[in-house]
């Protein structure tokens, strides 16, 4: 067997809002809201980061269809497929160590009738997700209802729904007009009535998000929706400051990942070329 390098990053799991060893469930989301405990979520697409997240205090992991952009380099989430989401969900679930994992239902997978939506959800749940996320509500109320009735916890997603990018004419803040704000608030109530356990609010004005949050029993998880939501979610690569290109203004980097990674790569390059890597103790006798 190969000897391992001792990991400089081994650290005890961080404190969690639930008692040690107890995993979050969909029922804990409304409970957290009732107890006025904020919820933290991040996206994750792979095993390595899922292992790290399993050691963190983060409450939940979303295998987002943003995988199509962040991992695969597409310009929108329209390229995510059930197969792609299933593969990422399997990898994350293997590493998540009991963290609550939600998988995104990709573009149109919930718009081709109830039977097709159930098949897609089955593919994601048997890949290791404990819940699915569905964008919007108008026109697929029956699907959400059937998923919930079938014992599949559903998270909603309102405001900027990236799968509707072309209907908006770009990635734009939603709910700026009274009509649009009323529509989003109405959809949030409809989702609560259908039995979803939480709703992601993406890129809506902070006052609207706060108003919607105050009108619901289930928690809102904001991204670009201000501090009035019951929780926050960020794309992991944004949070870690790993973007070389565009980063939206709401995506605060909690680490200078780009500098850290480039510095490590340049040091490796330098030490390979100077002959100082590998050292004798990094080689087999
Ligand atoms: O796919 C995703 O990353 C998402 C988050 C932006 C909430 O849906």
65 Cα–ligand 1 center, Å: 7
What is residue 8's predicted lDDT score, i.e. its pLDDT?
A: 47
Q: Given 119, 202, 271, 282, which residue is catalytic?
A: 202
pTM: 0.94
What is residue 40's predicted lDDT score, i.e. its pLDDT?
A: 98
Express each pLDDT in 87-123 by its tens digit: 999 999 999 999 999 999 999 999 999 999 999 999 9
Q: Which of 45, 102, 104 best tests ligand 1's pocket when mutated (most atoms within 8 Å of CB)?
A: 104
Enumerate the domain spans of the chain.
13-254, 256-285
What is residue 14's predicted lDDT score, i.e. its pLDDT?
A: 53
3-state secondary structure the chain: CCCCCCCCCCCCCCCCCCCCCCCCCCCHHHHHHHCCCCEEEEECCCHHHHHHHHCCCCCEEEECCCHHHHCCCCCCHHHCCHHHHHHHHHHHHHHCCCCEEEEECCCCCCCCCHHHHHHHHHHHHCCCCCEEEEECCCCCHHHHHHHHHCCCCEEEEEECCHHHHHHHCCCCCCCCCHHHHHHHHHHHHHHHHHCCCEEEEECCCHHHHHHHHHHCCCCEEEECCCCCCCEEEECHHHHCCCCCCCCCCCCCCCCCHHHHHHHHHHHHHHHHHHCCCCCHHHCCC
What is residue 190's predicted lDDT score, i.e. its pLDDT?
A: 98
Give the number of the atom of ligand 1 that is nearest the alpha carbon of residue 133. 8
What is residue 164's predicted lDDT score, i.e. its pLDDT?
A: 97
Architecture of domain 13-254: Alpha-Beta Barrel (3.20)
Residue nearest to atom 8 of ligand 1 (CA): 64
Express each pLDDT in 242-279 by its tens digit: 999 888 999 999 999 999 999 999 999 999 999 999 99
The verdict on whether 211 is a catalytic residue reads no
Q: Is the pLDDT of residue 1 over 50?
A: no
Please indicate whether residue 106, judged by its CB atom, sits closer than 6 Å to ligand 1: no
Count of other CB atoms within 10 angstroms of residue 124: 28
Please indicate whether residue 41, judged by its CB atom, sits closer than 6 Å to ligand 1: no
């Amino acid at each position: 067997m190969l000897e391992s390098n001792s990991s400089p990053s081994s650290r005890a799991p961080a404190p969690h809002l639930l008692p040690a060893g107890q995993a979050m469930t969909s029922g804990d989301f409304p409970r957290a809201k009732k107890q006025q405990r904020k919820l933290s979520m991040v996206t994750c697409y792979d095993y390595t980061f899922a292992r790290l997240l399993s050691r963190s205090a983060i409450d939940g992991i979303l295998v987002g269809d943003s995988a199509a952009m962040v991992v695969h380099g597409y310009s929108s989430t329209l390229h995510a497929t059930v197969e792609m989401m299933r593969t990422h969900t399997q990898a994350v679930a293997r590493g998540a160590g009991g963290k609550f994992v939600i998988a995104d239902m990709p573009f149109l997978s919930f718009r081709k009738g109830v039977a097709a939506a159930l098949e897609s959800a089955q593919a994601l749940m048997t890949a290791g997700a404990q819940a699915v996320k569905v964008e919007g509500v108008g026109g697929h109320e029956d699907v959400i209802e059937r998923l919930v009735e079938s014992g599949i916890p559903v998270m909603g997603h309102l405001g900027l729904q990236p799968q509707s990018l072309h209907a908006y004419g770009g990635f734009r803040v939603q709910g700026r007009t009274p009509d649009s704000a009323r529509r989003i608030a109405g959809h949030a109530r409809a989702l609560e009535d259908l039995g979803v356990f939480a709703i992601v609010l993406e890129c809506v004005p902070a006052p609207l998000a706060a108003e919607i949050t105050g009108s619901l029993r289930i928690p809102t998880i904001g991204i670009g929706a201000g501090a009035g939501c019951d929780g926050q979610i960020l794309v992991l690569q944004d949070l870690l400051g790993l973007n070389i290109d565009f980063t939206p203004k709401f995506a605060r980097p909690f680490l200078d990942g780009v500098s850290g990674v480039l510095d490590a790569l340049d040091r490796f390059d330098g030490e390979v070329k100077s002959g100082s890597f590998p050292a004798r103790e990094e080689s087999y006798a």
